[in-house]
Structure 1
Amino acid sequence: MKKQWWHDKVAYQIYPKSFMDSNGDGIGDLRGIISKLDYLKELGIDILWLSPIYRSPLVDQGYDISDYYAIGEQFGTMEEFDELIAETKKRNMYVLMDLVVNHCSSEHEWFKKAMTDPEGEYGDYFYIRESKDGQPINNARSYFGGNIWEPIPGTNKYYLHMFAKEQPDLNWENPKVRQEIYKMVNWWLDKGLAGFRIDAIINIKKNLDFPMLEPDGLDGLAFCTKTLGTKDGVSEMLGELKRETFDKHGAFTVGEVFNITDDDLSDFIGENGYFSTIFDFSTELLSTGEHGWYDAPDVAFPAWKKAIFHAQDQAYGCGFESNIIENHDEPRGASRYLPVYARNSCGTKMLGTMSLLLRGLPFIFQGQEIGMTNTNWQSVDEFDDLNTVDQYHLALKAGLSEKYALDKIGRLSRDNARTPMQWNTSSNAGFTTGIPWLRLNDNYPDVNVAAQEKDTDSVLNYYKKLIALRKSDTYKDIFTYGKTIPVFPEKEMLMAYCREKDDKRILVLGNFGEKKEALHLSAEPKKLLLSNMNHTEIGQDIILAPQESAVVLL
Structure 2
Amino acid sequence: MKKKWWHDKVAYQIYPKSFLDTNGDGIGDLRGIISKLDYLKELGIDIIWLSPIYKSPFVDQGYDISDYYAIAQEFGTMEEFDELLAEAKKRGMYIVMDLVVNHCSDQHEWFKKALADPDGEYADYFYFVKGKDGREPSNYRSYFGGNAWEPVPGTDKYYLHMFAKEQPDLNWENPVLRQKIYDMVNWWLAKGLAGFRIDAIINIKKDTAFPSFPPDGDDGLASCVKMVEEVQGVGALLEDLKHATFEKWDAFTVAEVFNMKEDELPEFIGDDGHFSTMFDFSAHELTYGEHGWYDSKPIEFKKWRDTLFASQLKLQKAGFAANIIENHDEPRGASRYLPEHARNEAGKKMLGTTSILLRGIPFIYQGQEIGMTNCIRNDISEYDDISTKDQYQVAIDAGCSREEALRCCYENSRDNARTPMQWTDDENAGFTDGTPWLAMNPNYRQINVREQEARTDSVLAYYRRLVHLRKADAYRETFTYGIFEPAYQEMADVFAYYRVSGESGQRILVAANFGTDAVSLTLAYPCRQVLLSNLRAESAVETACEKANALTLGSCEVAVIELG
Distance 2:375 2:186 in 1: 39
Give runs of aligned pairs for residues 70-469 of structure 1, distance below 5 A: 70-228=70-228, 232-469=232-469
1:512 aligns with 2:514: yes
Q: Deviations over 1:2-38 (max 9, x none)?
A: 1111111100000000000010000000000000000
Distance 1:492 1:115 in 2: 59
Shift of residue 299, structure 1, vs aligned partner: 1.2
SS at match of 1:316: helix
SS at match of 2:245: helix
Distance 1:232 1:243 in 2: 20
Q: Is the 8 A contact 2:229 2:261 kept in 1?
A: no
Q: Is the 8 A contact 2:229 2:259 kept in 1?
A: no
Q: Counterpart amino acid of 2:535?
A: M
1:541 aligns with 2:543: no
Change (3 A) 1:262 1:482: farther
Percent same amino acid among aligned pairs?
A: 62
Counterpart for residue 479 of structure 2:
479
Distance 1:348 1:229 in 2: 36
1:551 aligns with 2:553: no
Q: Is the 8 A contact 1:44 1:464 kept in 2?
A: yes
Shift of residue 227, structure 1, vs aligned partner: 1.7
Q: Is the 8 A contact 1:34 1:84 kept in 2?
A: yes
Distance 1:453 1:532 in 2: 17
Counterpart for residue 529 of structure 1:
531
Change (3 A) 1:365 1:491: same
Q: Is the 8 A contact 2:127 2:171 kept in 1?
A: yes
Q: Deviations over 1:151-205 (max 9, x none)?
A: 1222211100000000000000100110000000000000000000000000000
SS at match of 1:362: strand
Q: Counterpart amino acid of 2:552?
A: I
Distance 2:365 2:265 in 1: 24
SS at match of 1:547: coil
Distance 2:229 2:524 in 1: 50
Shift of residue 229, structure 1, vs aligned partner: 6.8
- Greater CA drift, 284-293 or 498-507: 498-507
Give runs of aligned pairs for residues 9-48 of structure 1, distance below 5 A: 9-48=9-48
- Greater CA drift, 492-501 or 313-322: 313-322
Distance 1:228 1:269 in 2: 19
Q: Counterpart amino acid of 2:72?
A: G
Distance 1:134 1:95 in 2: 48
Q: Is the 8 A contact 1:206 1:229 kept in 2?
A: no
Give runs of aligned pairs for residues 53-72 of structure 1, distance below 5 A: 53-72=53-72
Shift of residue 534, structure 1, vs aligned partner: 2.8
Shift of residue 230, structure 1, vs aligned partner: 5.8
SS at match of 1:12: strand
SS at match of 1:490: coil
- Greater CA drift, 211-220 or 421-430: 211-220
Distance 1:217 1:227 in 2: 16
SS at match of 1:353: helix
Distance 1:230 1:411 in 2: 31
Distance 1:505 1:253 in 2: 30
Distance 1:442 1:255 in 2: 33
Q: Normalised by the size of structure 2, how large is the TM-score?
A: 0.97
- Greater CA drift, 239-248 or 484-493: 484-493
Q: Deviations over 1:404-448 (max 9, x none)?
A: 011112210000000000000111000000000001001001000
Q: Counterpart amino acid of 1:476?
A: R
Distance 1:210 1:315 in 2: 32
Q: Is the 8 A contact 1:500 1:506 kept in 2?
A: yes
Distance 2:287 2:220 in 1: 23
Q: Counterpart amino acid of 2:562?
A: L
Shift of residue 259, structure 1, vs aligned partner: 2.5
Q: Is the 8 A contact 1:207 1:229 kept in 2?
A: no
SS at match of 2:64: coil
Q: Counterpart amino acid of 2:521?
A: L
Q: Counterpart amino acid of 1:40?
A: L
Distance 1:470 1:356 in 2: 8
Q: Counterpart amino acid of 1:544?
A: L
Q: Deviations over 1:358-383 (max 9, x none)?
A: 01000000000000000011110010
Q: Is the 8 A contact 1:149 1:160 kept in 2?
A: yes
Shift of residue 514, structure 1, vs aligned partner: 1.3
- Greater CA drift, 229-238 or 368-377: 229-238
Q: Is the 8 A contact 2:12 2:363 kept in 1?
A: yes
SS at match of 1:34: helix
Distance 1:35 1:428 in 2: 18
Shift of residue 262, structure 1, vs aligned partner: 4.0
SS at match of 2:299: coil
Distance 2:438 2:358 in 1: 33
Distance 2:264 2:318 in 1: 10
Q: Is the 8 A contact 1:205 1:230 kept in 2?
A: no
Shift of residue 232, structure 1, vs aligned partner: 4.5
- Greater CA drift, 395-404 or 46-55: 395-404
Q: Counterpart amino acid of 1:519?
A: L
Q: Counterpart amino acid of 1:234?
A: V
Counterpart for residue 503 of structure 1:
505
Distance 1:431 1:156 in 2: 49
Distance 1:226 1:488 in 2: 38
Computed over aligned residues only, the root mean square deviation of the Cα atoms, in angstroms, reads: 0.9
SS at match of 1:334: helix
Q: Normalised by the size of structure 1, how large is the TM-score?
A: 0.99
Distance 1:521 1:66 in 2: 58
Q: Is the 8 A contact 1:143 1:224 kept in 2?
A: yes
Q: Counterpart amino acid of 1:368?
A: Q
Where does structure 2 lack aligned partners over 5 or more consecutive residues? none
Distance 1:50 1:422 in 2: 18
